[in-house]
Amino acid sequence: MYSLGSWVALLGALSLSSAAPTEQNITSDTYFYGDSPPVYPSPEGTGTGSWAAAYEKAKSFVAQLTDEEKVNFTAGYSTSNGCSGNIPAVSRLGFPGLCVSDAGNGLRGTDFVNGWSSGIHVGASWNKTLAHQRALYMGQEFHRKGVNVLLGPVVGPIGRIAEGGRNWEGFSTDPYHSGVLVYETVQGVQEAGVGVSVKHYIANEQETNRNPSTENGVTVASVSSNIDDKTIHELYLWPFQDAVLAGSVSVMCSYNRVNNSYGCQNSKTLNGLLKTELGFQGYVVTDWGAQHAGIAGANAGLDMVMPRSTTWNSNLTTAVANGSMEASRLDDMVTRIVASWYQLNQDTDFPSPGIGMPADVYAEHEVIIGTSADEKDTLLQSAIEGHVLVKNKNSALPLQSPRLVSVYGYDAKGPDSTGPTSTFSAVIPATQNYTLWVGGGSGSNNPAYITAPLDAIQAQARADSTAVQWDTTSSDPDVDPASEACLVFINSYASEGDDRTGLVDADSDTLVTNVASKCNNTIVVIHNAGIRLVYNWIDHANVTAVILAHLPGQDTGTAIADLLYGRANPSGRLPYTVAKQAADYGALLHPAQPVAPYGLFPQDDFTDGVYIDYRAFDRDNIVPQFEFGFGLSYTTFDYAELNIQRSAVEATQFPPAATIQEGGNPRLWDVLANVTAQVRNAGAMDGAEVAQLYVGIPGGPVRQLRGFDKVHVPVGETVSVTFPLTRRDLSTWNVEAQDWELQQGEYKVYVGRSSRDLPLTGELSI
């Protein structure tokens, strides 16, 4: 006799399709996501393009394995060596095993590595070159420490839910923006000979009910992201496609269900979208503990389980023997994994896996230095460029050697008692203890050091022969009337495992208003792991400047001092929309909750389609506090001479039998038009501008980001920016044809400073 919880588990194992919600037999018209039938069999990797040699070697290797050895490749394990997961060695064939580990912003759980800026910070930099450099150096650290695969970067969640607990790990709420930066990140890390596992695939947009839970013997399933075919292509799949195009060797499937089928056993998303449509050549690995089916998961496209589970192991060979799984499927799973190892040349130039990953950094162990001196400039520049100046009344910044600077707020100081450690916890309260350089959970990291804001400001005071006063504990501090500038440091924390409970913090806002009531030049710096609203004090007459400082990593204090004192010119731009009030995010403010009558099977209907963040604000004519793409500088930039030129490529639809390569149909990357504009520095300080291109596709959102370029422009000079528009950039997904298609008519083209400050406009005819 099955309990209710057992029936749920059984049905979950059988539900491979992302079609009708079989688990609870929901028939309401609300659930209209029946256009994604199951896809079988799982396509074998073809070794297309640059993968040819790696696949040839891998197939030869796999042919020499026993069945038990093959299964060991597909079922990882956790050990005491400090790696997040491992694949065992096959010594007789010279395979040393694999070590995979977190995180996408620096190696977690070890020593002698750097704490790099987080994904949201990279997104706020809008700097493609810097994203690549950061990734390359970070990959080199993983390489030195014997980590074969970096578990990241993150493009899911993309930030659909404003209170999402892991939004800070991703780059942006825009798929194009995320796609460009994940492409550079994948290429940079893998250039260092370390693989990436891009995550979390797919539609993983909240932490609430991300995993099944059991109370009083009753199981509540993971939340189901109910999503239609058009939306998944135009928004959530988009950046994953860029990651595959960049050559990602691994993709991590997510905890949530997709149209009521668990993400790691969903044949439509794995076999259909990822491996068939996008031509993915690498392997799919579960998020830790995200396996909910045995053979069914393998047949649906899953290649590796982390960690090892009782539902896999020898059951795979048994399934091959009894015909419930093809032997070719097991061989393909192993081939994809081994080919990734060869693809990165880890067979010829790689340290012993896990050599630099001590299980306990306080115990005696071999010291492996992961850092290098040549990283320092990129580490600092990456920290600097993710800061976004959103208010600068009467040019309050940069500071001009003030006689007395007063510093307030818990976020100004460094850790008090112990050094910066990586803490995996989902229950840490809002961090009103010390400066926030990273969020919580598996995306946290282990900095080699922390330069806190107060430390850097005191060093600046020494150089300037000025004075600093501070109070980092009081919520209503005394203010010396001689203070020429009052700096208030607060933060906004988020972590894996929990969604945020709001976008403001009353205690921190009270601190800001208390200081502002006593100081007529109050400058607020917020280290924010996600959207942070500022309506409680943004219009206060004495709040003269505000910086959204995001999560800069270990050089946080040095970076903010350089910006405050003008050694660096702010160039960050927002990768999300800051609303005037929380209600402006509408139904996308809070995560979905289990509700009757299907409380055991939480549902989240993505009826918003592609209309998240700025697209929704534009559609609904909601005026934001600060729009997507917004950011100030210490100088000003003028735009002129918009030029739109069609290329020689015919703007026709795709041929019916296009060859799928890594990244999908190669015709998607045909450049159909080029847009150019001139950017002039009309101010008094050299600076960098983020020129942004938006396109209004007929029948779609008012405008969508389709190009950006960060350019350094000296005072008085003009720089030309060019934006190529590809076929994918100008297409929409046709559900009936199951293909991308161009729209006939006039495409609106906009170029400017942000999603709502676009001085240049034109049209492109298709």
Residues 455 and 526 placed together within one structural domain of the fold: yes
Residues 187 and 250 placed together within one structural domain of the fold: yes
Residues 425 and 506 placed together within one structural domain of the fold: yes
pLDDT digits (tens, 9 = 90+) for 85-115: 999 999 999 999 999 999 999 999 899 999 9
Q: What is the mean pLDDT of residues 481-498?
A: 96
66-75, 426-435, 690-699, 711-720: which has the minimum mean pLDDT?
A: 426-435
What per-residue confidence (pLDDT) applies to 193?
Answer: 98
Q: What is the mean pLDDT of residues 503-528?
A: 97
Q: What is the mean pLDDT of residues 562-588?
A: 98
Higher pLDDT, 20 or 260: 260
Residues 383 and 340 placed together within one structural domain of the fold: no
Whole-angstrom distance, CA of residue 487 vs CA of residue 102: 34
Please check the confidence at residue 5 and state whether its pLDDT lies above 90.
no
Residues 107 and 148 placed together within one structural domain of the fold: yes
Please check the confidence at residue 1 and state whether its pLDDT lies above 70.
no
User: How many domains does one find in the chain?
Assistant: 3
Please check the confidence at residue 440 and state whether its pLDDT lies above 60.
yes
Q: In this structure, what token pair is assigned to residue 293?
A: 């089916």
Domain annotation covers residue 226: yes
What per-residue confidence (pLDDT) applies to 72?
Answer: 93
What per-residue confidence (pLDDT) applies to 61?
Answer: 98
pLDDT digits (tens, 9 = 90+) for 302-330: 999 999 777 887 888 899 999 999 999 99
Closest Cα to residue 764, out of 742, 746, 744? 746
Domain annotation covers residue 614: no
Average pLDDT taken over every residue of the chain: 91
Closest Cα to residue 265, out of 301, 308, 310, 215? 301
Q: What is the mean pLDDT of residues 572-587?
A: 98
Decide which of 297, 324, 344 is a domain's last residue: 344
Please check the confidence at residue 8 and state whether its pLDDT lies above 60.
no
Residue 745: which domain range? 635-765
What per-residue confidence (pLDDT) applies to 220?
Answer: 93
**CB of 763 within 8 A of CB of 642?**
no
Whole-angstrom distance, CA of residue 402 vs CA of residue 388: 23
CATH number of the domain where residue 413 is located: 3.40.50.1700
Residues 288 and 398 placed together within one structural domain of the fold: no
pLDDT digits (tens, 9 = 90+) for 142-193: 999 999 999 999 999 999 999 999 999 999 999 999 999 999 999 999 999 9
Domain annotation covers residue 613: no
**657 falls in which pLDDT band (50, 70, 90)?**
low
What per-residue confidence (pLDDT) applies to 77?
Answer: 83
CATH number of the domain where residue 675 is located: 2.60.40.10
Domain annotation covers residue 602: no
**26 falls in which pLDDT band (50, 70, 90)?**
very low
Whole-angstrom distance, CA of residue 514 vs CA of residue 524: 12
What per-residue confidence (pLDDT) applies to 3?
Answer: 33
Domain annotation covers residue 1: no
Decide which of 293, 324, 344 is a domain's last residue: 344
Please check the confidence at residue 352 and state whether its pLDDT lies above 80.
yes
- Extended beta strands in 41-119, E state: 85-87, 98-101
Decide which of 588, 623, 648 is a domain's last residue: 588
Coil, strand or helix at 190: helix
Domain annotation covers residue 722: yes
- Extended beta strands in 609-665, E state: 637-646
Residues 716 and 569 placed together within one structural domain of the fold: no
**Alpha carbon of 370 to those of 101, 107, 142, 147, 360: distances in Å?**
14, 9, 7, 11, 16
116-120, 215-219, 671-675, 697-701: which has the minimum mean pLDDT?
A: 215-219
What per-residue confidence (pLDDT) applies to 36?
Answer: 63
pLDDT digits (tens, 9 = 90+) for 35-94: 468 999 999 999 999 999 999 999 999 999 999 999 999 998 877 678 999 999 999 999
Residues 51 and 104 placed together within one structural domain of the fold: yes
Whole-angstrom distance, CA of residue 168 vs CA of residue 174: 14
Residues 323 and 424 placed together within one structural domain of the fold: no
The model's pTM is: 0.94
CATH number of the domain where residue 217 is located: 3.20.20.300
Domain annotation covers residue 18: no
Residues 57 and 184 placed together within one structural domain of the fold: yes
**11 falls in which pLDDT band (50, 70, 90)?**
very low
Coil, strand or helix at 614: helix
What per-residue confidence (pLDDT) applies to 415?
Answer: 82
Domain annotation covers residue 259: yes
Residue recorded with tokens 């057992």: 6
Provide the annotated active-site residues.
Answer: 287
Residues 200 and 276 placed together within one structural domain of the fold: yes
Residues 119 and 174 placed together within one structural domain of the fold: yes
